[in-house]
Amino acid sequence: MSTRIYDEAQEWQVTASETPFTGNKTGVRTDDVVMPDGSVARRDYQTHPGSVAVVALDDQDRVLVLSQYRHPVRQKLWEIPAGLLDVPGENPLHAAQRELYEEAHVKAEDWRVLVDVYTTPGGSDEAVRIFLARELSEAEGERFAVSDEEADMELARVQLEEIVRGALAGELHNNSLVVGSLALNAAMQGGGGLSALRPAGSPWPARPFEG
């Protein structure tokens, strides 16, 4: 019999906390945390509102991707549509639908939760919900006006197998693209197929939301 593992919520005692930096969307927090041996360790980490990302899969098993310059890593990365949860308690599905429209001018009829991840839990509390969107079509109305790095974005549709190959070859590095594509590939090969994925409105304890 295989061993089932799962993450569990815990909250160790914090004896002191301060926020030395608060930015436009994220910040830095310093907590003094009581360790199991009774000692106190100082932990610095980024506070983050959370994000959503969308693996948009068309009827030819192509994934909608975009390339965007990311200054911290000094690279133009291929990514999937994604964005911040700007409003506390915002429904992540609504946010994902908005991002797919704004970044790709595409809508989808079928939505599922693909996977939930913490991007860097040792240094940030950022949580990302990655959706699978299918039955794609062009969105109605005018395209969303873009600016800054988004003004230089390229859009493409790439076969899922090519993205998986690129990820394993070290040619693609965006977290949500790699995790989402590998998860989708695993789901397509699994016994239950894509119908076994969680419904789009499934609970998300990392970022509770209203209906």
Mapped onto helix, strand or coil, the DSSP state of residue 209 is coil
Burial of 145 (0-12, 13-18, 19+ CB in 10 A): exposed
Which DSSP state fits 61? S
User: Do residues 101 and 139 lie in contact, with contact meaning Cβ atoms separated by under 8 Å?
Assistant: yes
Question: Which candidate, 76, 70, 198, 78, places its Cα nearest to that of 129?
Answer: 198
Query: Does residue 103 carry a catalytic annotation?
Result: no
Question: Which candidate, 120, 82, 76, places its Cα nearest to that of 101?
Answer: 82
Question: Which candidate, 84, 78, 111, 121, places its Cα nearest to that of 99?
Answer: 84
**Which one is catalytic: 18, 140, 150, 154?**
150
User: How many angstroms separate the CA atoms of 54 and 46, rounded?
Assistant: 23
CA dist list (Å): 76 to 18, 39, 55, 100, 171: 35, 43, 19, 20, 12
Positions annotated as catalytic residues are 150
